[in-house]
Amino acid sequence: MDAFLTNLQQRLAAEPGVKSVGFASNIPIVGQRSGRLIAPEGYVKSPGEGWIIASNYLTQGKYFDATRIPLVRGRYFTPSDDQPGAPLVTIISQSLASRYFSGKDPIGMRIKVGPDFASAMPAMTVVGVVGDIKQGARDEATVPQMYEPLAQAVADLGPFGAMIGVAGDMDIVIRTAADPSAVESSLNKTVHELDPLLALANVNTMDEIVAATESSRRFNTAILTSFAGIALFLSLLGIYGVMAYSVSERTREIAIRMALGATRGTVLLRTLRHAFSLTTIGVAIGVAASLGLTRLLSSLLYDVKPLDALVMIGTIILLFICSSLAAWLPARRAASVDPMQALRTE
């Protein structure tokens, strides 16, 4: 299996526009396929703490280069790790290192597969620490991750070796310098030449994978945004109607004020102030309601706190600006009242 992937990697790496090629039993975003019970060296579990489970990735080639998972400490896997008899090594995520090797240098520490360090399974030496990746949706909690060279993976992992099992297929990860669709035909051709019976499935760009994962959330957000836009439009229409009616009902009052010396600017500001008072009442009610609804909407938010102050302030400012625009025409009509003509009409 790994020899086939080595040949495939070399062939694909020689294609124009291909920068790096790697393979893994799992890739970010698509969800967890395999996990292992692990026992980090020196870590003492607290009373009642369950087994430690890490999401497991079997990799080959330049997987970390292709996915651009950053190296925090140590090194990536090298070809020497794939040689027969090479010491078992692993690369762990930063969250795993911080949680189970807190205060220690994780490089050189060992991790055993099993519920405790006394298990009979051989220990793997940590040679690198990489940044965390999102295993599922981007708003899901980050889980500890560990990576192993595919060549060192064993077929029989024992009862504690895997919670789900080693993936029976491998994902190809290709980073290109050009349009990824241009490489797809070369990928299919190369795979067919190496093994005519082998077929590719689910060839997608990472942007497409992320978009598919977020599609339902984006749809719900689009629906809510549409409803919010309609509600904002209806509220502005309501402010305009109320202000227009108020100006028509107060035409005589406005005319008397202007006959007694009130300027057009004074009338304009007074009318807008009335609109602001209505908006303030509506905003106060809306803020109070939003405080109670944020828990329901928190599942649609990513990297935004439910009670984010900047978002709240920006929304309030937007509402006042919109209400000002809605009240502008009635306010101008009030300021353009001819006192003599209005009083004669009355």
pLDDT (tens place) for every residue of the chain, 346 residues total: 467 888 888 888 888 888 888 888 888 877 666 778 888 888 887 887 778 888 888 888 899 998 899 999 999 998 888 888 888 999 999 999 998 888 889 999 999 887 777 666 788 999 999 998 887 666 677 788 999 998 887 433 444 333 334 445 788 888 888 777 777 777 888 888 888 877 777 787 787 777 777 777 778 778 888 988 898 888 778 877 877 777 777 667 767 766 777 777 777 777 778 778 878 888 888 888 777 777 666 666 666 666 777 877 888 888 888 878 777 777 777 667 666 665 555 5
Q: What per-residue confidence (pLDDT) applies to 126?
A: 93
Task: Report CA 302 to chain centroid distance, whole Å.
Answer: 6
Give the H/E segment covering residue 58: strand 52-61
Per-residue model confidence (pLDDT) at position 165: 40
3-state secondary structure of 133: coil
Helix (H) or strand (E) holding 42: none
Specify the pLDDT at position 54. Answer: 87
With the CA atoms of 89, 91, 92 and 93 taken in that order, what torsion angle do they form, in degrees rounded to the nearest 10?
180
Predicted pLDDT at 70: 92
Distance CA 29, CA 23 (A): 15
Q: Give CA separation, 188 vs 138, 175, 177, 203, 205, in Å.
A: 30, 16, 19, 10, 15
Nearest to 54 by CA among 13, 97, 16: 97
Question: CA 187, CA 203: separation in Å to the nearest integer?
Answer: 10
Pairwise CA distance, residues 279 & 327, whole Å: 10
Q: What is the pLDDT of residue 313?
A: 85
Rg (C-alpha) for the chain, rounded Å, is 32
Cβ neighbours of residue 75 under 8 Å, at least 6 residues apart?
127, 128
The residues facing 291 across adjacent strands are none
Assigned token pair, 25: 């039993």
Tokens 């439910």 — which residue?
306
What distance in Å separates the CA atoms of residue 237 and residue 230, rounded to the nearest whole number?
A: 10
d(CA 128, CA 93): 9
- Helices H, strands E: what count in the chain? 9, 9
* Per-residue model confidence (pLDDT) at position 340: 62
pLDDT in tens, 2-61: 678 888 888 888 888 888 888 888 888 776 667 788 888 888 878 877 788 888 888 888
pLDDT on residue 159: 40
What pLDDT, on a 0 to 100 scale, did the predictor assign at position 162?
39
CB 114, CB 37: distance < 8 Å: yes
Which residue has tokens 């309609």?
230
- Lookup result for tokens 């909690």: 141
Q: What is residue 90's three-state secondary structure?
A: strand
